Amino acid sequence: MDISTARSFKFPQFISNRNLFHSSIVLVFIFWLIEGLLHIFVFDEADHGHAVFEAFFPHDANELWMRIIITVLLLFIGFVAEASVRFIKITNSVNKEILENSTNAYLAISANWIVEYINPEAEQLFDLTRSKDRGKLLSDILPDLASAFYKPLNVAMNEQKASCVSGFTSQNNKWLKVHIYPASTGITVSVQDISPEKHYQDLMQRNKAIIDNSLDGLISINRRGIVQTYSKSAEGIFGYKCEEVIGNNVSMLMPDNYARHHDGYISHYLRTGDAKLVGIGPYEVQARHKDGTLFDMDLAVNEAIVNDEIIFIANVRDISRRKGLQRKLEYLSNYDSLTGLPNRSFIMDSLKQFIKAATRNNNRLAVMFLDLDNFKKVNDSYGHNVGDKLLELVAGILQASLREADMVARLGGDEFVIVLEDIKHADDAMIVASKIQHEFSKQISIDEHKIMPATSIGIALFPDDGLSHLELLKHADTAMYEAKKSRSDHIQMFSDISRRSGNTSADIN
């Protein structure tokens, strides 16, 4: 804004304080008077009074019209000049009023870098006093401003190019946004204090950096389920880029069974306040990755109000690795790592459940204790690697010999336990045992070694041979040791031993 225009606008002193229209009338009178004097002195007319009268009221019609036209033109020029001056005065007054009441600081600087105008906002922003600082060099009263914005100030002054720049000034410890405009006698500088905005931007950038580098993803949605914010960590968790998610429904990140009901859940919560998830979590849920796979996730949802609008902020964490390790630990605690069969702990718990079911349904079940006869010899002759492979093959043969409802477990070493559920007669257990013996009568090749995996099997029945899992396992173990002693048949029922010689079981605990 050029505030120096009106200051440089001047008129001859004799009309500077008069109404210009009236001054034009005076000019017309003077013009006529001068012409009369010309008639007297130049044309040497004897009758001076007549000459003056002819100057104002000529008898010649053409000359009279010429006088009238000149008079009208002079009066019009006076009217236009007066209107222009009044317009400039009004404009200058309005501009000054705007500058005086502006929330931006304004400085008018002359071509020799003298500060000619300081508005009240500039006084407050730069701690200046107009009466004291006006008329001084810019570099004297605002050295930091002159130094920080040296280049754009010089470009505006010397090349008449406007510019807008921002920067920090240590003189008043503020971030300033400076507009520099060329003016007819120098430059006009508009300064805005943007420190609050800059500090807010810095705070937002710090918060964004913290959020983006957090292990947890942050997602916010509105009351319609539309995603409004989506952190960088969320990109890593779900595989979607920010631009692929913002503006879409958050259900795109959910499995189908959750996605179908999500919007209805939000509506129900907003209508009733019944929170099943909001403000209660975290919960373990499943989420959908961009590639379509499902993964385990911790989810905590909280409600917030921003600009009078309810939003929901979700904190999400991928726990698939943790869940995987947990499942692995659970597997290792219940299953044998070599054969993949249930281990001693698992079969003990499972056998209790089998007994409860058999008692409830008035059924019978069989517990078979199986031991490889030549396993130590295999280990000693061919090494533990071959022994391990033999155990894996044995596990496969046993699983293939059983029904889906039955169970086989490895107790440790070369000992296995089989539970046959819901058998009608003792002969049913003998049939399964004979089938297993038949499979183990076949020669097995392991790493070019020919092995005959002979086995001994002891069988105890529920409820005939025991009512608890410990009794059944102990009696099956006793029968197995009796089977090892037999030279003809390596299958032994505990009931047969009891009938022959009473119970002489070995404690397996």
Fold of 102-197: Beta-Lactamase (3.30.450)
Q: Does the pLDDT at position 109 exceed 80?
A: yes
> How do the domains of the chain map onto residue ranges?
6-98, 102-197, 219-322, 335-501
pLDDT at 11 over 60: no
The pLDDT tens digits of the residues spanning 292-321 come to 999 999 999 988 888 888 899 999 999 988
pLDDT band at 50 (very low <50, low <70, confident <90, very high): low
Between 11 and 53, residue with greater pLDDT: 53
| 252 has a pLDDT exceeding 90 | yes
Task: Using pLDDT thresholds of 50, 70 and 90, give the confidence band for residue 13.
Answer: very low
Strands (E), 146-244: 163-169, 174-183, 186-193, 217-221, 227-230
* Catalytic position from the list 144, 414, 465, 477: 414
* More confident of the two residues 197 and 462: 462
Average pLDDT over every residue of 460-474: 93
Give the gyration radius of the chain's Cα atoms: 53
Rounded distance, CA 235 to CA 238, Å?
6
Least confident of 130-144, 146-160, 202-216, 495-509: 495-509
* Average of per-residue pLDDT across 197-203: 81
pLDDT of residue 88: 67
**Which residues, 6 or more positions from 259, have their beta carbon under 8 angstroms from its beta carbon?**
251, 252
Fold entry, domain 335-501: Alpha-Beta Plaits (3.30.70)
Averaged pLDDT of the chain? 82
Q: Give the percent of the chain with pLDDT over 70.
A: 80
Q: Same fold for the domain at 219-322 and the one at 335-501?
A: no
State residue 56's pLDDT score.
Answer: 55
Query: Strand (E) positions, 54-131?
Result: 105-110, 115-118
> Which tens digit of pLDDT belongs to each residue from 21-33?
566 666 666 766 6
Residue bearing the bigger pLDDT, 102 or 503: 102
Per-residue pLDDT band for 72 (boundaries 50, 70, 90) equals confident
The Cβ-side half-sphere exposure at 287, using a 13 Å CA radius, reads 23
Tell whether the model's pLDDT for residue 188 goes beyond 70.
Answer: yes
Q: Which of 75-89, 92-106, 437-451 comes out lowest in average pLDDT?
A: 75-89
Verify whether residue 414 is a known catalytic residue: yes
Single pTM value for the model: 0.50
Phi (first) and psi of residue 371, to 5 degrees:
-135, 135
Q: What is the pLDDT of residue 278?
A: 84
Tokens in use for 364? 């019978």
Question: Given the structure tokens 């807008």, which residue do they identify?
Answer: 164
Residues in CB range of 246: below 8 A, 6 or more apart = 227, 228, 229, 230
Fold of the domain built from segment(s) 219-322: Beta-Lactamase (3.30.450)
Among 32-41, 126-135, 364-373, which is the least confidently predicted range?
32-41
Report the share of the chain in percent with pLDDT over 90: 36
The whole-angstrom separation of Cα 421 and Cα 481 is: 23
426-450 average pLDDT score: 89
Residue 37: is its pLDDT beyond 70?
Answer: no
Cβ-in-10-Å burial (0-12, 13-18, 19+) of 182 comes to middle
- Tens-place pLDDT, residues 329-340: 888 889 998 999
